[in-house]
Chain A
Amino acid sequence: MSAAPTMPTAPARPAPATAGAPPLTPVFVRLKLSLLRNGLRQSSGRTAVYVVSLVLTLLFAALVVLGLVALRGNDHAAALVVLLVTLVALGWAAMPLFFPSGDETLDPTRLAMLPLRPRPLIVALLVTSMIGIGPVFTLAVAVGSVIALAHGAAATVVGVLAVLLTGLVCVALARAVATANVRLLTSRRGRDLAVLSGLIIAIGAQGVNLGVQKLTGPDGLGVLEPVATVVRWLPPASSLQAVDAASDGSYGRAAAGLAVTAAALVLLLWWWQRTLTTLMTAPDSSTLQAMEKDTRRRSAERGPLRLLPAGRTGTVMLRSLRYAWRDPKTKMSWAAALGVGLLLPIVTAVQGGGSVYTACWAAGLLGMQMYNQFGQDTSAFWMVASTIATPRDAYVELRARALTIALVAVPYVSAVVVGAATALHQWSEFLEAYGLALALLGALVCTGGLSSALAPYSIPAEGNKNVAPGQTGIASLSIMGGMLAGALLTSPVLGLTIWLHVADAHGLLWLVLPVGAAYGLAAAYTGLRLAAPQVAKRLPEILAAVSKG
């Protein structure tokens, strides 16, 4: 439809040569709209997701705007606004790293074969980037911020400029970061990073949650002031600081604030243009990768890893540790267990319901790492399977994997229990909580080993799914059943603790630590002993189950 008017003009000007080339910006805007439309046309599910996310974003934006409007006149409004806008800008900077395939026009290497000049290209790309849900949200936040701060005509004029500048800086920032990192984003490392994004967002959300709780407390907003004094001079927040300054009548500060953001925009555009030019005139990344210099990995003989035992045990532990660091899926599950295991005691403590027992979460989450051990190997499990000939081999393999978990979990859980006891001054309950945590860890290693042998399932290597299609049933059954069994297994130690409390035998509560530790060890040993013959017997079945990813 929109293309119709341009069609007849094309034959009229047969040779546009240099002067008559059509302006790039409308072409790019149409390209972006077509990509959007075609993407939605592909499936109704995608359309639904898009519409829902659009509605949700608009609702959220409306809420933010309402909240900001309500802040109008508050003493700390300026502090909150500058921090909010800085947060949004940080989000823009990080977004392309986590969602590299989010926007097809984001990858300028697709345009490398076209004869385009950098300057019109930058303008066209910048304008195109302003189309989308993200920019709408950003502009809404900026408008809300201006409403919260602007008093008087001068401030309103500055406000309009500030909204524009904020939007442009955010978009240019995202584009420049994406362009500078396009080699990383299209490489394996970039895809690895994208897998970790969910975790970073989840942990970040916890941080925001804690922050919001602090801010909504009495005189909560006052906490922001010291941070805001620095941030208010950083772009794009400085443009909103300018609005605040204009409202106070200090026009010099207002001009300075606007100038800082405008300078940032110019710098960003310059940087973007430079990287874009290099990128589009340099060889393709696949060629460069082949020539990439071989980085020597630190050999195990020199590091502390050489302390690992010899034979199969040390070999398997070394590989498991390397995978925990190098494989994005394994890394994510370890990082989630370590992060959440630490966060939960902290969050509950901050919320006022803290107890040293919350440290058991760390033990529980780390113990869960023992689940689906062979699924974590993916189909590479055949390499393990072809070296397991006896139940003894299988036992050594399982034990080495359990030892890897213990190597991390035992010191970590100890540190979390000690930390919780120190922070909450609950040393009286320290020994029993520690004992219970160790018993739980051992119980989960036991049930995890068994479920690894009896209910393995595939973990797809790519994407954010942790279970292959069709195996969700096995996965949830194994995890839920295992957790339940783990809890049941821990119940004797829990029972002992409760009984000692009820019987008023507080003097004997220290017993829970040695009993719990011994119990955990015994449970883990028994579980691995029971699981090993099953693994040795079911090697082909396990391989088939873990190869579906």
Chain B
Amino acid sequence: MVQDAAAGGGRTDTATADGGRTGTGSGAAVGPAAVRISGLWKKFGEQVAVAGIDLELPAGQFIGLVGPNGAGKTTTLSMVTGLLRPDSGQVEIGGHDVWRDPVAVKSRIGVLPEGLRLFERLSGRELLAYTGRLRGLPGDEVDARATQLLDVLDLAGAQHKLVVDYSTGMRKKIGLACALLHNPEVLFLDEPFEGVDPVSAQTIRGVLERYTGSGATVVFSSHVMELVESLCSWVAVMAAGRIRAQGPTAEVRGDADSLQNAFLELVGANRRLAGSQNLDWLGGGNR
């Protein structure tokens, strides 16, 4: 497929680009791993949300974290980005431990969480100005970058409107702008396309593709397989708090005709559908 070829090309490109970007990383990192997760656990009361994940996400790739609702994608991303404390396990980003070396990690990552609010009583432009300055960037630089981001993300017309009055798509876009403002090495996006109209989705997609093209890493979660298949060069499949498969998209897809089918096979949903003969009264002539 065309995407695969492009992604493959991107991979060889970015391996060297990444070497330049994370050259100061600790010696523990073998090869260009942007994110290294080992033995990650999280329980909420009796319920195990994430059950011991080991994952190594290569740098410079467009990485998809896919799984059905409740698979533990959001919990994983929250723990990886330092917003949720894991029960046990380790997360390293660019060779730096998320919990022991927050100074090195927080300046290197950008986050767009799902289900958390923004400072919505600020206008889009004010929110960017706030975020950039909070990140320690010089004011003039923040304003220049904000202008460009608002322009590219098609938000320039609504930049003085309060974020609370934004639509879902506009919120995702301004959230993305906030996450990109400090030019992070790794970008974590939780369901960036959820509830987003096709036009905004295409805009977001364009910005992300340009961004990974420069050698940066994007990790995003989704349950829309077609999207993941068309965007991602590398995927990790999650179900019930565990990683079921990980690797380049083509490898994970294997012999299946689409990632969707490969995914259904991996999470066992095909069997559930096949074993549904106890609904054999539904439809047909037995009325």
Contact = CB atoms under 8 A, between A and B. Distances in A.
Contacts of A322: 121-122, 126
B134 A315 contact: yes
A382 B133 contact: no
Nearest to B178: A383
B160 A294 contact: yes
Given A296-B160, A297-B160, A383 B119 contact: yes
Given A378-B117, A380-B119, A386-B106, A540 B84 contact: yes
B82 A386 contact: yes
B82 A390 contact: no
A389 B126 contact: no
A384 interface: yes
A539 interface: yes
By size class, the interface of chain B is: 35 or more
Interface stretch (B27-35, B161-169, B215-223): B161-169
A93 B165 CA distance: 28
A390 B100 CA distance: 11
A41 B157 CA distance: 48
A110 interface: no
A363 to B, nearest CB: 27
A32 to B, nearest CB: 33
A182 interface: no
Interface in B104-129: 105-107, 109, 111, 113, 115-123, 126, 129
Contacts of B135: 387
Contacts of A295: 160-161
Nearest to B113: A382
Interface of A is mostly: helix
B85 interface: yes
Interface string B176-192: 00100000000000000
A385 B121 contact: no
Contacts of A544: 84
B6 interface: no
B82 A380 contact: no
Interface residues of A, number: 37
Interface string A296-324: 11000000000000111011101100110
A379 B103 contact: no
A117 interface: no
A294 B161 contact: yes
A517 interface: no
Interface string A370-382: 0000000111101
A323 B84 CA distance: 26
B102 A389 contact: yes
B117 A384 contact: no
A539 B83 CA distance: 7
Contact of B162 (A296, A326, A388, A539): A326
Interface string A510-549: 0000000000000000000000000000011101100100
B83 A310 contact: no
A390 B103 contact: yes
B134 A312 contact: yes
B106 A389 contact: yes
A327 interface: yes
B50 to A, nearest CB: 14
Given A379-B116, A382-B116, A389-B106, A327 B121 contact: yes
Interface in B75-93: 81-85
B225 to A, nearest CB: 28
Contacts of A380: 116-120
A326 B106 contact: no
Nearest to B162: A326
Interface string A382-408: 111111111000000000000000000
Given A315-B133, A318-B130, A380-B118, 6 more contacts: A294-B157, A378-B117, A384-B134, A387-B135, A388-B106, A543-B83
Interface of B: 81-85, 102-103, 105-107, 109, 111, 113, 115-123, 126, 129-131, 133-136, 139, 157-158, 160-162, 164-165, 178
